[in-house]
Amino acid sequence: MRKVEHIGIAVKDISVSVPLFEKLLDIACYKTEMVESELVNTAFFKKGETKIELLESVDPEGVIAKFIDRKGEGIHHIAFDVDDIEAEMRRLQNEGFVLLNETPKQGADNKLVCFLHPKSTNGVLIELCQEKK
C-alpha cells in the first residue's frame, strides 16, 4: 500500500453534498460518475495527494442506502492506493483478512478495486485501488 488514495463518504443527496464540499474544501468537484457495479453516484474532490469520494445510492436497497439507514451519513471507507492489486489481495488473504470480492472489480475513477470485510479490520471498511494502466 502506498498511500491513502481517497476517503469515501456516504451522503443522502449528492446534489446537496457537492456544493457543500465545494465550499468546505474551496475547490470544484472535478468528476462525477455513476458506478454500475455498485449502483452509486460518485463525486470526486482532490486536495493535494488525497481525494474525497462522495457516494450516493441509486438503489434504495443498495449498500450505501443500507449504510445510511444503519449509521447515518458519514465516513464509509478508506481507500489505499496499491501498485499490484492481485498481489496485495493475496498478501492480505494470507494474513487472514476477509476479502469482499475474490477478483478485482471495476470501481470509479478508472480503478480496479477490492474491499476488505470490516469484521476483519476493526470495523473499518478498507478499499484497495489500483489505477488501470
Contacting positions for Zn ion (CB under 5 A): 8, 53, 79, 127
Q: Count the Cβ atoms, other than its own, within 10 Å of residue 11.
A: 22
CA distance 20 to 11: 11
- Is 112:130 a contact under the CB 8 Å cutoff? yes
Measured from the CB of residue 50, what is the shortest distance to Zn ion in angstroms?
12
By C-beta, is 80 or 97 nearer to Zn ion?
80
Question: What minimum distance in Å lies between the beta carbon of 95 and Zn ion?
Answer: 21
Q: Residue 94 or residue 115: which is nearer to Zn ion going by CB?
A: 115
The residue sitting closest to Zn ion, measured at its beta carbon, is: 8
- 56 secondary structure, DSSP code: E
- Phi, psi (5° rounding) for residue 95? -85, -5
C-beta closer to Zn ion: residue 2 or 94: 2
Phi, psi of 20 (to 5 degrees): -65, -45
Q: How far is the CB of 117 from Zn ion (least distance, A)?
A: 15
Q: Which is nearer to Zn ion, 72 or 112 (CB)?
A: 112
Nearest approach, Cβ of residue 122 and Zn ion (Å): 18
Task: Please report, as a single letter, which amino acid is at residue 99.
Answer: L
